Structure 1
Amino acid sequence: MMRESVQILEKKIFIKRDDLLDFGITGFNGNKARKFLSLLDSQYEVFVSFGGNQSNAMQVLAALAKARGKEFFYITSEPPKFLRTSPMGNFAFGLAHNVRYVFAPAGSRVEVLENLAREVFAQQYKRYGERALFIPQGGSEELAMRGMRELVRELCEMIESKASSDIAESKKSKALDSDNVWSRSGGNGGFAPIDDTQEQRSCNTIMLFITAGSGVSARSFVRAQCEMRRECDNGQCESKNAGDMELITLCCAGEIGGVGRTLCADFAFGSLQAEVWAMYHKLLAQGIEFDLLYDCVGFVLLERALEQGYFSDEDLAKPWVFVHSGGLLGNASQILRYERKFGVSFLHAQKIPHKKNPL
């Protein structure tokens, strides 16, 4: 679903609204629903996973487990007293959806959480055997492939539909409208008369932006895109436009390999940044809420890159599509943290200075 757009500096960016995905399960949407789509109709009886107490993956698995009558054990560090007393966000969602929380000591490292999760899984495996599933933090590429293939297919359908309508319109007018970013032929904003073959190629090429933490979604997207391109080359096309998307991965928690071009944050994942808080309000003022951990960081990286001239004229001439990762429940606790540090709002979108980042 892609019905809206935002603007960063002078660049219009279309939004693939994965936060609005609807599989008939409240809370099962966004990036993590893509990752766990293969579990919708699985025969597993129990899931075991681990991570933070406001994890988006935990929320989606909790929604799925309750809707399908599964048990879900989730290992996380002991939450702070205020969160235990007044649950909010994804933690509250998990409590309401019967998550079997197992708490490690407060501040436990991820290795401690994983070891405890594997102990819990071993116990459940004795009960359920192959019907028990251990899920790494944030999921895995194997689990994610079904959802990422679906994302590639949906984007390809969007490209084909938009290209067809643009070509039909251009044949009528003999010239492309200057507001039509899908068919722009040059970085200077001009439009040139071109034949149908060239026009089809221009329309069918997009810049796609996905935010990433561990990189599972980005790597599985690349795999799905490559698989579908090979299938098309072999005459088994599911989506003939699979190769017409250039992925830019917006890395929120460090460098990620194997995902094409990347823009990476130069601050710690989850740290409070004034420019991220300002970006949250800039985007909210344009009518769409994004999460503070991933998407708002991604837009900060895009804004920096635009300011520093990272993108070529060819890049800028293409339509840009940003995949909304969802995860909005997690904003409840994040907003409180930001308000305590920076105040209630940046609604006037004042300029927040940041370090120059050699992208």
Structure 2
Amino acid sequence: MIEKFKFRGREMFLLRDDLLGEFNGNKARKLEYFLNSDLKGIKRIVSHGSSQSNAMYSLSVFAKMRGLEFCFVVSHLNSNLQEKPVGNFKFALQNGMKIFVAQDRRSLAKELASQDDAFFIEEGVAMAEAEFGFKTQAMQIEKWCEKNSIRPDIFLPSGTGTSAAYLAKNSNLRVFTCPCVGDVKFLQDEIFALDKNSKVQILNPPKKYHFGDLKLELYKIWREILDETGVEFELIYDPVGFLTLFSNLDAFSGDILYIHQGGILGNISQKMRYERKFKGEL
């Protein structure tokens, strides 16, 4: 669903991938290939990432639906989270996730997936199979553009850059993104590893943000958007996204289509972190 969206006096369009259903946002797009595969002979899926990863939760839902064992490896597990699980971690555990901790989380995940009946999924589902869902997304956007006689620029914030890379590869529209994990060089390398001829245009955030860091201006713009528009966005990526978008408006040629990539379940734990750190300032 694409709807009109106005924030800070700027009108744009919003693709509500957060409303796709139980699987929503960019993880629904990334998992579309697997949702349509029989995975015959597979009994376990293994992945790795952070302890509040959106992909972790989505994979736990997928594994539960398919009756598969789900193993997930993190490099660190906070003692408070271990004792009182919240957010994505809590719900993934409820779905039967088995958690492992290792400094080199990818190596352990590969080891756990070394048997023939196991399947390894990269962190954030940053793998070739993820392209399948973004072909669908690109086609849906193209049909909407034709129906409404509009050719907007597309913007979405990035972690691994998988969503932006595969959308740009399959779309005739200009696709812009910004780094939320690492810097521009890191994001370029990640995107070119997926598509060496990528057309994605990467914009610099107004300042360097370390992934998951608690910055008052990030919470404030997230709250401002919620209060002004009634739309709840994800609390790590989208604040950086909107700050980057508004500091780079001259990069866009006309209409803007912002992609809401879901992930708001993770806001539960992130809000708790903000409330602890900025008590009395929020």
TM-score (norm 2): 0.88
Amino acid at match of 1:31: N
Question: Match of 1:64?
Answer: 62
Question: Match of 1:221?
Answer: 167
- Among candidates 247, 257, 261, match of residue 325 of structure 1: 261
Task: Indicate how the Cα distance of structure 1 residues 344 and 91 shifts in structure 2: closer, same or farther if over 3 A, else same.
Answer: farther
What's the CA shift for 1:6?
3.2
Amino acid at match of 1:268: H
How far apart, in 2, do the equivalents of 1:11 and 1:282 lie?
14
Task: Indicate how the Cα distance of structure 1 residues 42 and 344 shifts in structure 2: closer, same or farther if over 3 A, else same.
Answer: farther
Give yes or no for the alignment of 1:290 onto 2:233. yes
Residue by residue over 1:141-164, the C-alpha shift from the partner in whole angstroms, topping out at 9 and shown as x without a partner, is 41111100011011011111212x
Where 1:212 maps in the other structure, the secondary structure is: coil
What's the CA shift for 1:259?
4.5
Where 2:220 maps in the other structure, the secondary structure is: helix
How far apart, in 2, do the equivalents of 1:287 and 1:322 lie?
16
Question: Match of 1:114?
Answer: 106
Give yes or no for the alignment of 1:247 onto 2:175. yes
Structure 1 residue runs without a partner (length 5+) = 164-202, 226-242, 347-359
Task: Please say if residues 66 and 97 of structure 1, whose CA atoms lie closer than 8 Å, have aligned partners that are also in contact.
Answer: yes
Task: Please say if residues 74 and 117 of structure 1, whose CA atoms lie closer than 8 Å, have aligned partners that are also in contact.
Answer: yes
Amino acid at match of 1:223: K
What's the CA shift for 1:345?
6.4
Amino acid at match of 2:112: V
How far apart, in 2, do the equivalents of 1:97 and 1:13 lie?
37
Task: Please say if residues 3 and 14 of structure 2, whose CA atoms lie closer than 8 Å, have aligned partners that are also in contact.
Answer: yes
User: How many equivalent pairs are there?
Assistant: 264
Task: Please say if residues 51 and 76 of structure 1, whose CA atoms lie closer than 8 Å, have aligned partners that are also in contact.
Answer: yes
- Among candidates 195, 218, 221, match of residue 279 of structure 1: 221
Residue by residue over 1:186-212, the C-alpha shift from the partner in whole angstroms, topping out at 9 and shown as x without a partner, is xxxxxxxxxxxxxxxxx3x11100111
Larger Rg: 1
Task: Please say if residues 145 and 220 of structure 1, whose CA atoms lie closer than 8 Å, have aligned partners that are also in contact.
Answer: yes
What's the CA shift for 1:292?
1.2
Task: Please say if residues 158 and 237 of structure 2, whose CA atoms lie closer than 8 Å, have aligned partners that are also in contact.
Answer: yes
Question: Match of 1:3?
Answer: 3
Give yes or no for the alignment of 1:49 onto 2:47. yes
Task: Please say if residues 6 and 15 of structure 1, whose CA atoms lie closer than 8 Å, have aligned partners that are also in contact.
Answer: no
Task: Indicate how the Cα distance of structure 1 residues 90 and 84 shifts in structure 2: closer, same or farther if over 3 A, else same.
Answer: same
Question: Match of 1:301?
Answer: 244
Question: Match of 1:269?
Answer: 211
- Among candidates 27, 35, 44, match of residue 40 of structure 1: 35
Where 2:257 maps in the other structure, the secondary structure is: strand
How far apart, in 2, do the equivalents of 1:80 and 1:305 lie?
36
Please list, as runs of the form range in 1=range in 2, the aligned pairs for 1:190-205 lying within 5 A after superposition.
203=150, 205=151
Please identify runs of 4+ aligned residues in structure 1 that moved more than 4 A: none
Question: Match of 2:24?
Answer: 29
Amino acid at match of 1:304: S
How far apart, in 2, do the equivalents of 1:292 and 1:4 lie?
21
Identity level (%): 34
